[in-house]
Amino acid sequence: MLRYILHKLALIVPTVIGITIASFAFIRLLPGDPILAMAGQHGVSPERYEILREQFGFNQPIWTQYFQYVWGVLHGDFGISLSTKRPVIVDFLSLFPATIELSLFAMMLAVLLGIPAGIFAAVKRGSWFDQMTMGVALTGYSMPIFWWGLLLIIFFSGYLGWTPVSGRIALSYFFRPITGFMLVDTLLYGNWPAFVSAVRHLILPAVVLGTIPLAVIARQTRSAMLEVLGEDYVRTARAKGLSPGRVVNVHALRNAMIPVVTTIGLQVGLLMAGAILTETIFSWPGIGKWMIESISKRDYVVVQSGLLLIALVVMAVNLLVDILYAVINPRIRVR
Protein backbone atom coordinates (compact mmCIF):
# COMPACT_ATOMS: atom_id res chain seq x y z
CA MET A 1 0.00 0.00 0.00
CA LEU A 2 2.84 2.43 0.86
CA ARG A 3 4.49 1.84 -2.52
CA TYR A 4 1.15 2.47 -4.22
CA ILE A 5 0.67 5.78 -2.36
CA LEU A 6 4.24 6.94 -3.10
CA HIS A 7 3.70 6.20 -6.78
CA LYS A 8 0.57 8.35 -6.79
CA LEU A 9 2.38 11.16 -4.96
CA ALA A 10 5.17 11.10 -7.54
CA LEU A 11 2.63 11.63 -10.30
CA ILE A 12 1.40 14.80 -8.57
CA VAL A 13 4.74 16.62 -8.97
CA PRO A 14 4.59 17.23 -12.75
CA THR A 15 0.92 18.12 -12.41
CA VAL A 16 1.72 20.81 -9.85
CA ILE A 17 4.47 22.22 -12.10
CA GLY A 18 2.04 22.41 -15.00
CA ILE A 19 -0.57 24.12 -12.82
CA THR A 20 1.90 26.77 -11.67
CA ILE A 21 2.72 27.59 -15.30
CA ALA A 22 -0.94 27.62 -16.35
CA SER A 23 -2.12 29.71 -13.38
CA PHE A 24 0.77 32.16 -13.81
CA ALA A 25 0.08 32.60 -17.54
CA PHE A 26 -3.73 32.65 -17.33
CA ILE A 27 -4.20 36.03 -15.66
CA ARG A 28 -1.41 37.64 -17.71
CA LEU A 29 -3.09 36.64 -20.97
CA LEU A 30 -6.20 38.61 -20.03
CA PRO A 31 -6.40 42.22 -21.21
CA GLY A 32 -6.00 44.90 -18.57
CA ASP A 33 -3.36 46.29 -16.24
CA PRO A 34 -3.36 45.42 -12.51
CA ILE A 35 -1.92 48.82 -11.56
CA LEU A 36 -4.66 50.70 -13.43
CA ALA A 37 -7.28 48.35 -11.95
CA MET A 38 -6.01 49.19 -8.46
CA ALA A 39 -6.08 52.93 -9.22
CA GLY A 40 -9.74 52.82 -10.28
CA GLN A 41 -11.48 55.70 -11.99
CA HIS A 42 -9.17 58.32 -10.45
CA GLY A 43 -6.19 56.97 -12.36
CA VAL A 44 -2.53 57.27 -11.41
CA SER A 45 0.29 59.57 -12.47
CA PRO A 46 3.08 58.16 -14.67
CA GLU A 47 5.58 58.54 -11.85
CA ARG A 48 3.34 56.74 -9.37
CA TYR A 49 2.60 54.09 -11.99
CA GLU A 50 6.29 53.24 -12.38
CA ILE A 51 6.77 53.18 -8.59
CA LEU A 52 3.92 50.69 -8.19
CA ARG A 53 5.22 48.52 -11.04
CA GLU A 54 8.56 48.32 -9.30
CA GLN A 55 6.97 47.75 -5.89
CA PHE A 56 4.96 44.74 -7.09
CA GLY A 57 7.70 43.44 -9.38
CA PHE A 58 5.81 43.92 -12.65
CA ASN A 59 8.80 45.70 -14.21
CA GLN A 60 10.90 42.52 -14.02
CA PRO A 61 11.19 39.97 -16.87
CA ILE A 62 8.31 37.52 -17.00
CA TRP A 63 10.50 34.52 -16.28
CA THR A 64 11.90 36.27 -13.18
CA GLN A 65 8.37 36.90 -11.93
CA TYR A 66 7.50 33.24 -12.46
CA PHE A 67 10.50 31.86 -10.58
CA GLN A 68 9.90 34.31 -7.72
CA TYR A 69 6.32 33.06 -7.57
CA VAL A 70 7.43 29.41 -7.51
CA TRP A 71 10.14 30.14 -4.94
CA GLY A 72 7.58 31.76 -2.67
CA VAL A 73 5.17 28.83 -3.06
CA LEU A 74 7.91 26.36 -2.16
CA HIS A 75 8.47 28.32 1.06
CA GLY A 76 4.76 28.53 1.86
CA ASP A 77 4.45 32.16 0.73
CA PHE A 78 1.57 32.56 -1.72
CA GLY A 79 1.96 36.33 -1.92
CA ILE A 80 0.05 39.41 -0.82
CA SER A 81 -3.24 40.32 -2.48
CA LEU A 82 -3.03 43.51 -4.54
CA SER A 83 -6.58 44.49 -3.57
CA THR A 84 -6.95 43.48 0.09
CA LYS A 85 -3.25 43.83 1.05
CA ARG A 86 -3.57 40.60 3.05
CA PRO A 87 -1.70 37.33 2.53
CA VAL A 88 -3.49 35.20 -0.05
CA ILE A 89 -3.37 32.15 2.21
CA VAL A 90 -5.18 34.10 4.96
CA ASP A 91 -8.01 35.09 2.61
CA PHE A 92 -8.15 31.57 1.21
CA LEU A 93 -8.43 29.90 4.61
CA SER A 94 -11.08 32.37 5.77
CA LEU A 95 -13.28 31.79 2.70
CA PHE A 96 -12.58 28.11 2.05
CA PRO A 97 -14.90 26.76 4.79
CA ALA A 98 -17.86 28.40 3.04
CA THR A 99 -17.03 26.62 -0.22
CA ILE A 100 -16.39 23.33 1.57
CA GLU A 101 -19.72 23.57 3.40
CA LEU A 102 -21.58 24.23 0.15
CA SER A 103 -19.70 21.55 -1.82
CA LEU A 104 -20.06 18.98 0.95
CA PHE A 105 -23.82 19.32 1.14
CA ALA A 106 -24.11 19.37 -2.65
CA MET A 107 -22.09 16.13 -2.85
CA MET A 108 -24.11 14.56 -0.02
CA LEU A 109 -27.27 15.35 -1.96
CA ALA A 110 -25.79 13.89 -5.14
CA VAL A 111 -24.53 10.68 -3.48
CA LEU A 112 -27.53 10.00 -1.23
CA LEU A 113 -29.97 10.39 -4.11
CA GLY A 114 -27.84 9.39 -7.10
CA ILE A 115 -26.57 5.98 -5.93
CA PRO A 116 -29.96 4.58 -4.81
CA ALA A 117 -31.62 5.96 -7.94
CA GLY A 118 -28.99 4.28 -10.14
CA ILE A 119 -29.31 0.97 -8.28
CA PHE A 120 -33.10 0.85 -8.53
CA ALA A 121 -32.96 1.91 -12.19
CA ALA A 122 -30.57 -0.97 -12.93
CA VAL A 123 -32.61 -3.53 -10.99
CA LYS A 124 -35.82 -2.30 -12.70
CA ARG A 125 -34.20 -2.00 -16.12
CA GLY A 126 -36.69 -1.00 -18.83
CA SER A 127 -39.41 -0.08 -16.33
CA TRP A 128 -41.11 3.30 -16.10
CA PHE A 129 -38.93 4.09 -13.07
CA ASP A 130 -35.76 3.40 -15.06
CA GLN A 131 -36.88 5.55 -17.98
CA MET A 132 -38.06 8.38 -15.73
CA THR A 133 -34.88 8.36 -13.64
CA MET A 134 -32.55 8.43 -16.63
CA GLY A 135 -34.68 11.09 -18.32
CA VAL A 136 -34.53 13.32 -15.25
CA ALA A 137 -30.79 12.65 -14.92
CA LEU A 138 -30.17 13.64 -18.54
CA THR A 139 -32.21 16.80 -18.04
CA GLY A 140 -30.31 17.70 -14.88
CA TYR A 141 -26.98 17.10 -16.57
CA SER A 142 -27.95 19.31 -19.51
CA MET A 143 -29.15 22.34 -17.57
CA PRO A 144 -26.74 25.31 -17.31
CA ILE A 145 -26.00 26.15 -13.69
CA PHE A 146 -26.68 29.88 -14.05
CA TRP A 147 -30.09 29.25 -15.67
CA TRP A 148 -31.07 26.57 -13.14
CA GLY A 149 -30.01 28.77 -10.22
CA LEU A 150 -31.94 31.80 -11.42
CA LEU A 151 -35.00 29.63 -12.10
CA LEU A 152 -34.99 28.26 -8.55
CA ILE A 153 -34.49 31.75 -7.10
CA ILE A 154 -37.46 33.10 -9.06
CA PHE A 155 -39.74 30.24 -8.02
CA PHE A 156 -38.75 29.38 -4.44
CA SER A 157 -37.46 32.77 -3.28
CA GLY A 158 -39.49 35.18 -5.39
CA TYR A 159 -42.81 33.41 -5.94
CA LEU A 160 -43.13 31.14 -2.89
CA GLY A 161 -40.84 33.07 -0.51
CA TRP A 162 -39.57 29.85 1.09
CA THR A 163 -35.83 30.48 0.81
CA PRO A 164 -33.54 33.54 0.92
CA VAL A 165 -32.10 34.92 -2.29
CA SER A 166 -28.44 35.21 -1.30
CA GLY A 167 -25.84 35.03 1.46
CA ARG A 168 -25.05 32.42 4.11
CA ILE A 169 -27.20 33.71 6.97
CA ALA A 170 -29.64 36.53 7.74
CA LEU A 171 -27.97 39.89 8.45
CA SER A 172 -29.71 40.04 11.85
CA TYR A 173 -27.41 37.27 13.13
CA PHE A 174 -23.81 38.24 13.80
CA PHE A 175 -21.19 36.30 15.74
CA ARG A 176 -17.47 35.66 15.55
CA PRO A 177 -16.76 32.51 13.51
CA ILE A 178 -15.18 29.58 15.33
CA THR A 179 -14.72 26.96 12.62
CA GLY A 180 -15.82 28.96 9.59
CA PHE A 181 -18.61 26.45 8.91
CA MET A 182 -21.82 28.35 9.48
CA LEU A 183 -23.95 25.37 10.48
CA VAL A 184 -21.35 24.19 13.00
CA ASP A 185 -20.74 27.66 14.44
CA THR A 186 -24.44 28.37 14.99
CA LEU A 187 -24.77 25.08 16.88
CA LEU A 188 -21.65 25.80 18.94
CA TYR A 189 -23.17 29.12 19.98
CA GLY A 190 -26.45 27.35 20.73
CA ASN A 191 -28.32 29.76 18.47
CA TRP A 192 -31.09 27.62 16.98
CA PRO A 193 -32.81 30.41 14.96
CA ALA A 194 -29.43 31.25 13.38
CA PHE A 195 -28.92 27.57 12.52
CA VAL A 196 -32.33 27.44 10.81
CA SER A 197 -31.45 30.61 8.89
CA ALA A 198 -28.14 29.08 7.77
CA VAL A 199 -29.91 25.92 6.58
CA ARG A 200 -32.47 27.95 4.61
CA HIS A 201 -29.67 29.90 2.94
CA LEU A 202 -27.83 26.66 2.09
CA ILE A 203 -30.67 24.74 0.46
CA LEU A 204 -30.90 26.39 -2.96
CA PRO A 205 -27.14 26.73 -3.62
CA ALA A 206 -26.59 23.10 -2.61
CA VAL A 207 -29.39 21.90 -4.89
CA VAL A 208 -28.06 23.93 -7.82
CA LEU A 209 -24.46 22.81 -7.29
CA GLY A 210 -25.41 19.18 -6.66
CA THR A 211 -27.75 18.72 -9.65
CA ILE A 212 -25.12 17.84 -12.26
CA PRO A 213 -23.10 15.50 -9.96
CA LEU A 214 -26.37 13.81 -8.96
CA ALA A 215 -27.23 13.14 -12.60
CA VAL A 216 -23.74 11.85 -13.40
CA ILE A 217 -23.59 9.58 -10.34
CA ALA A 218 -27.06 8.14 -11.03
CA ARG A 219 -26.21 7.31 -14.65
CA GLN A 220 -22.79 5.85 -13.74
CA THR A 221 -24.27 3.74 -10.93
CA ARG A 222 -26.93 2.33 -13.25
CA SER A 223 -24.34 1.52 -15.92
CA ALA A 224 -21.96 -0.14 -13.44
CA MET A 225 -24.75 -2.16 -11.81
CA LEU A 226 -26.06 -3.41 -15.16
CA GLU A 227 -22.58 -4.62 -16.08
CA VAL A 228 -22.06 -6.38 -12.74
CA LEU A 229 -25.55 -7.92 -12.66
CA GLY A 230 -24.70 -9.76 -15.88
CA GLU A 231 -21.59 -11.42 -14.45
CA ASP A 232 -21.40 -15.18 -13.83
CA TYR A 233 -20.93 -14.89 -10.06
CA VAL A 234 -24.14 -12.88 -9.76
CA ARG A 235 -26.07 -15.49 -11.73
CA THR A 236 -24.53 -18.18 -9.51
CA ALA A 237 -25.65 -16.31 -6.39
CA ARG A 238 -29.18 -16.16 -7.77
CA ALA A 239 -29.08 -19.86 -8.66
CA LYS A 240 -28.19 -20.64 -5.03
CA GLY A 241 -31.50 -19.11 -3.99
CA LEU A 242 -30.11 -16.01 -2.30
CA SER A 243 -32.56 -13.17 -1.79
CA PRO A 244 -32.55 -10.38 -4.43
CA GLY A 245 -31.53 -7.88 -1.77
CA ARG A 246 -28.48 -9.96 -0.78
CA VAL A 247 -27.48 -10.49 -4.40
CA VAL A 248 -27.63 -6.76 -5.13
CA ASN A 249 -26.22 -5.36 -1.89
CA VAL A 250 -23.54 -7.96 -1.12
CA HIS A 251 -22.43 -9.50 -4.40
CA ALA A 252 -23.07 -6.81 -7.00
CA LEU A 253 -22.83 -3.43 -5.28
CA ARG A 254 -19.25 -3.68 -3.99
CA ASN A 255 -17.81 -4.46 -7.43
CA ALA A 256 -20.01 -1.83 -9.06
CA MET A 257 -18.80 0.83 -6.63
CA ILE A 258 -15.30 1.15 -8.13
CA PRO A 259 -16.36 3.16 -11.22
CA VAL A 260 -18.88 5.02 -9.06
CA VAL A 261 -16.15 6.06 -6.62
CA THR A 262 -14.10 7.19 -9.61
CA THR A 263 -17.00 9.33 -10.76
CA ILE A 264 -17.47 10.82 -7.30
CA GLY A 265 -13.80 11.74 -7.13
CA LEU A 266 -13.92 13.42 -10.53
CA GLN A 267 -16.97 15.40 -9.48
CA VAL A 268 -14.90 17.22 -6.85
CA GLY A 269 -13.14 19.20 -9.55
CA LEU A 270 -16.45 19.91 -11.26
CA LEU A 271 -17.90 21.04 -7.92
CA MET A 272 -15.10 23.59 -7.59
CA ALA A 273 -15.79 24.82 -11.12
CA GLY A 274 -19.54 24.88 -10.52
CA ALA A 275 -19.05 26.67 -7.21
CA ILE A 276 -17.70 29.69 -9.09
CA LEU A 277 -21.03 30.21 -10.86
CA THR A 278 -23.17 29.10 -7.93
CA GLU A 279 -21.43 31.37 -5.43
CA THR A 280 -21.69 34.29 -7.84
CA ILE A 281 -25.42 33.75 -8.42
CA PHE A 282 -26.23 33.40 -4.71
CA SER A 283 -23.59 35.88 -3.43
CA TRP A 284 -22.11 33.01 -1.42
CA PRO A 285 -18.90 34.31 0.24
CA GLY A 286 -16.61 31.48 -0.81
CA ILE A 287 -13.59 30.76 -2.97
CA GLY A 288 -15.50 30.90 -6.26
CA LYS A 289 -16.86 34.40 -5.70
CA TRP A 290 -13.44 35.48 -4.42
CA MET A 291 -11.76 34.25 -7.61
CA ILE A 292 -14.27 35.98 -9.89
CA GLU A 293 -13.77 39.28 -8.06
CA SER A 294 -9.99 38.86 -8.23
CA ILE A 295 -10.08 38.25 -11.99
CA SER A 296 -12.17 41.38 -12.52
CA LYS A 297 -9.66 43.37 -10.44
CA ARG A 298 -6.69 41.80 -12.27
CA ASP A 299 -5.31 40.70 -8.91
CA TYR A 300 -2.50 38.57 -10.34
CA VAL A 301 -1.31 37.26 -7.00
CA VAL A 302 -4.72 36.01 -5.87
CA VAL A 303 -5.61 34.39 -9.19
CA GLN A 304 -2.35 32.50 -9.69
CA SER A 305 -2.11 31.36 -6.06
CA GLY A 306 -5.84 30.73 -5.70
CA LEU A 307 -5.90 28.44 -8.74
CA LEU A 308 -2.91 26.54 -7.36
CA LEU A 309 -4.50 26.12 -3.93
CA ILE A 310 -7.78 24.91 -5.43
CA ALA A 311 -5.88 22.47 -7.64
CA LEU A 312 -3.97 21.13 -4.63
CA VAL A 313 -7.27 20.49 -2.84
CA VAL A 314 -8.68 18.65 -5.86
CA MET A 315 -5.51 16.54 -6.20
CA ALA A 316 -5.62 15.69 -2.50
CA VAL A 317 -9.19 14.46 -2.87
CA ASN A 318 -8.29 12.44 -5.95
CA LEU A 319 -5.40 10.87 -4.02
CA LEU A 320 -7.83 9.85 -1.29
CA VAL A 321 -10.10 8.36 -3.95
CA ASP A 322 -7.17 6.36 -5.38
CA ILE A 323 -6.42 5.03 -1.90
CA LEU A 324 -10.07 4.12 -1.52
CA TYR A 325 -9.83 2.11 -4.75
CA ALA A 326 -7.14 -0.01 -3.17
CA VAL A 327 -9.33 -0.56 -0.11
CA ILE A 328 -12.35 -1.59 -2.18
CA ASN A 329 -10.35 -3.75 -4.60
CA PRO A 330 -6.86 -4.80 -3.33
CA ARG A 331 -5.92 -6.04 -6.83
CA ILE A 332 -5.47 -2.40 -7.90
CA ARG A 333 -2.37 -2.06 -5.67
CA VAL A 334 -0.30 -4.37 -7.83
CA ARG A 335 -1.06 -2.64 -11.14
The pLDDT value recorded for residue 1 is 64
Q: Is residue 162 part of a domain?
A: yes
CA distance 171 to 150: 22
Q: What is the pLDDT of residue 84?
A: 81
Question: For residue 311, what are the CA distances in angstroms to 96, 171, 210, 270, 290?
Answer: 13, 32, 20, 11, 15
The model's pTM: 0.80
In-domain check, residue 128? yes
Q: What pLDDT was estimated at residue 120?
A: 87
> What is the C-alpha separation between 193 and 226, in angstroms, rounded?
46
Residue 329: band (very low, low, confident or very high) from pLDDT cuts 50, 70, 90: low
2 domain residue, yes or no: no
Is the CA virtual torsion 177, 180, 185, 186 positive or negative?
positive
Is 225 part of any domain? yes
How would residue 204 be classed by pLDDT, with cut points 50, 70 and 90? very high
Is residue 86 helix, strand or coil? coil
Please give the residue that has the higher pLDDT: either 120 or 230. 120
Within a domain: 204: yes
Higher pLDDT, 121 or 57: 121
Lowest mean pLDDT among 109-118, 142-151, 254-263, 285-294: 254-263
Q: In this structure, how many other beta carbons lie within 10 angstroms of the beta carbon of residue 287?
A: 26
pLDDT at 155 over 60: yes
Q: What is the pLDDT of residue 38?
A: 67
Q: How confident is the model at residue 43 (pLDDT cuts 50, 70, 90)?
A: low
Question: Which residue from 124, 285, 273, 149 is spatially nearest to 211, judged by alpha carbons?
Answer: 149
Q: What is the CATH number of the domain that holds 228?
A: 1.10.3720.10
**Looking at the domain assignment, is residue 136 inside a domain?**
yes
What is the rounded CA–CA span in Å between residue 16 and residue 3?
Answer: 21
Question: Does residue 99 form part of some domain?
Answer: yes
pLDDT at 16: 84
Q: Is 288 within a domain?
A: yes
Q: Provide the residue range defining the domain that includes 279.
A: 95-296
Q: How confident is the model at residue 41 (pLDDT cuts 50, 70, 90)?
A: low
Residue 195 confidence (pLDDT): 93
- Residue 40 pLDDT greater than 70, yes or no: no
Count structural domains, the chain: 1
What secondary structure does DSSP assign to 288-335, as a single string? Answer: HHHHHHHHHTT-HHHHHHHHHHHHHHHHHHHHHHHHHHHHH-GGGGG-
Q: Is the pLDDT of residue 4 over 70?
A: no
